[in-house]
Amino acid sequence: MDVEAPRDEPIRFNRLRRKVYVYRFVHDGLRTFSRSAWGVRTEVHDWEDLRAEACSVYGPMGTGGLIETVTLAVVKPGTNKVIDRFHFAHEMQQGEMYWAMAQLFMQQGPQALPHFPRAPRDWNNEDVTFNLARRL
C-alpha cells in the first residue's frame, strides 16, 4: 500500500524572524469524533536548528522497493541531537532543489529565487481543466 502525507501540510519560511513554521495534520483513529484529536497543529522552529537528511529505504511497495525521501531534522541548539523530524520531499533530486531554494531564500531574500515561466499549481484552487469529472 502506498501512503502519502496530506497535501495540506505546508512549511513556511519566515526570513525576517529566522523561523520555520510547520503545519502538521494530526488525527487519532481511536477518537474519531473528538475535535481535539483531529486538525492542524502549528510547530515553530529556528532556521539555524534545521538540517536536511536524505534517506533511501527498501520496503514492500506496489511500485517497487526503493523509497527515497528528504526530511528536515530539528536539532538541539549547539549539538547534533535530533529533537524532531518532518517530511520535506519525496525524491532526492526534488529535495535537493527545494532545500537549495529554501537556503537561497533565507540568505538573500525572494529576489534571489529563480523565475518560473509558469506559476506553481495551487492545490486548494483546482481549476476545471485539471479535473476530468468537473469537465464532464
C-alpha cell at 24: 502538521
Instruction: Give the count of beta carbons closer than 10 Å to the beta carbon of residue 37.
Output: 13
Mean pLDDT by 10 residues, the chain (136 residues): 56 94 82 75 93 86 78 92 91 92 93 83 62 64
* Residue 74 to residue 82: CA distance in whole angstroms: 6
Pick the closest to residue 45 from 25, 69, 73 (CA basis): 73
What's the predicted TM-score (pTM) here?
0.73
**Bridge partner residues of 50 (DSSP):** 74
* Eight-state DSSP code of residue 81: -
* Residue 14 to residue 16: CA distance in whole angstroms: 6
Cβ(44)–Cβ(24) below 8 Å: no
